[in-house]
Amino acid sequence: MKVLVIGSGGREHALCALLGRNATGTPPRLFCAPGNAGIAEVAQCVPLSATDINGLADFAGQEQISLTIVGSEAPLAAGLADEFERCGLVVAGPSQRAAQLESSKVFAKEFMLRHRIPTARHRVASNVAEAREILRGSGFGPEDAPVVVKADGLAAGKGVVVARTRAEAETAIEQLMEGGRVGREAAQRIVIEEALEGREASLLLWTDGRDYALMPPARDHKRVGENDTGPNTGGMGAITAPGVLDEEMLALAVREIVEPTLAGARDEKLNFRGVLFVGLMLTPEGPRVLEYNVRFGDPEAQAILVRLRSD
């Protein structure tokens, strides 16, 4: 069997290490595009960019790759899974439409509203003036209550600001929409959200769109500085341990979030297949969705995959 992993980070290295270990049979022949120097120790690196969809589909066809696993979000948001399916190739990763759960926070919030999935209250703004008006309205509590400002599109973990004051929120909005903090396209719209309190957990699962298998829950550490200070990143490190998500919270998350999300994706014919990642805030009222990702987390994958004892 030949397996192709797409990506070039620690997450893809962890995936290749797991696939190469193979608990029950002959390990597959592994390729990784584009890979990196560490990955080259466990897989054959292929000099194709993760977003060169046609090049990757040609390669997978020529090499008769049995399974392709996509590590990062950009190729999925660009339609890699759709193109692979058109070419008759097997891919673990959702369609471009399903990838909107990650590639558009506005889409994700509207999806959650449609399917009554618990998440923070939000409003959408298309320009700075509209955003200011929303902030000055009474929808997000008193002046000194924190709010969260999020760029709609993909921003590699840098598109979210948890603002402690309205002044901070206004500055964040200006930086996102006009100041080039993230790419112009990512911040054409922004989501303004109520700030939730609690501990976070990342719940990942495999799904074929109908059935699913949960992975051990993890928690990543977002802020760049020591002692949980400074701006958010895509994740500085991760842990996985039973205490990250207790049995009661896990049962609630499955019943109120995981199952309605998969049912909603089916109803809307999103063709969700691959890995679903639910970023949770564990509030006193129960788990709330902070975000969806449509692939393994990085660095969550590095912590989770070494715990798996099966193929």
Confirm or reject binding of residue 293 to ligand GLY (CB under 6 A).
yes
Among 148, 265, 301, 305, binds ligand AMP (CB under 6 A): 148
Provide the strand spans (E) within the chain: 2-7, 29-34, 44-45, 67-70, 91-92, 122-125, 147-151, 160-163, 190-194, 199-207, 212-214, 219-225, 229-239, 274-283, 286-293
By CB under 6 A, is residue 280 in contact with ligand AMP?
no
Task: State the DSSP H helix or E strand holding residue 16, giving kind and residue range, or none if neither.
Answer: helix 10-21
Which of 33, 155 has the CB closer to ligand AMP? 155
Kindly state the smallest distance separating residue 10's Cβ from ligand GLY, in Å: 10
Terminal Cα-to-Cα distance of the chain (whole angstroms) = 14
Compose the 200-239 pattern: x for residues touching ligand GLY by CB under 6 A, - for all others. Answer: --------------------x-------------xx----
List 7, 9, 264, 279, residue binding ligand AMP (CB under 6 A): 279
Helix (H, G, I), strand (E, B) or coil at 162: strand
Sheet holding 91-92: strands in order across?
Answer: 44-45, 29-34, 2-7, 67-70, 91-92
Which is closer to ligand AMP, CB of 188 or CB of 232? Answer: 232
Q: How far is the CB of 164 from ligand AMP (least distance, A)?
A: 11
Q: Are 229 and 223 in contact (CB under 8 A)?
A: yes
Residue 112's H or E segment, with its range, is helix 105-114
Total residues binding ligand GLY (CB under 6 A): 7
Binder of ligand GLY out of 71, 176, 298, 303 (CB under 6 A): 298
Q: Residue 43 or 244: which CB sits closer to ligand AMP?
A: 244
> Is residue 291 at the binding interface for ligand AMP, with CB under 6 A as the rule?
yes
Query: Which of 88-96, 131-139, 260-268, 296-304 is the region at the interface with ligand GLY (rule: CB under 6 A)?
Result: 296-304
Q: How far apart are CA 81 and CA 93, in angstroms?
A: 6
In whole angstroms, give the CA distance from residue 51 to residue 139: 40
* Site size for ligand AMP (CB under 6 A): 15
Are 281 and 114 in contact by the 8 Å Cβ rule? The answer is no
| Of the residues 13, 123, 222, 273, which one makes contact with ligand AMP according to CB under 6 A | 222
Q: Is 202 helix (H, G, I), strand (E, B) or coil?
A: strand
Q: Does 297 bind ligand GLY (CB under 6 A)?
A: yes
Q: Which of 258, 271, 266, 235 minimizes the C-alpha distance to 117?
A: 258
List of residues contacting ligand AMP (CB under 6 A)? 120, 148, 150, 160, 162, 193, 195-196, 200, 222, 232, 279, 281, 290-291
List of residues contacting ligand GLY (CB under 6 A)? 220, 234-235, 293, 297-298, 300
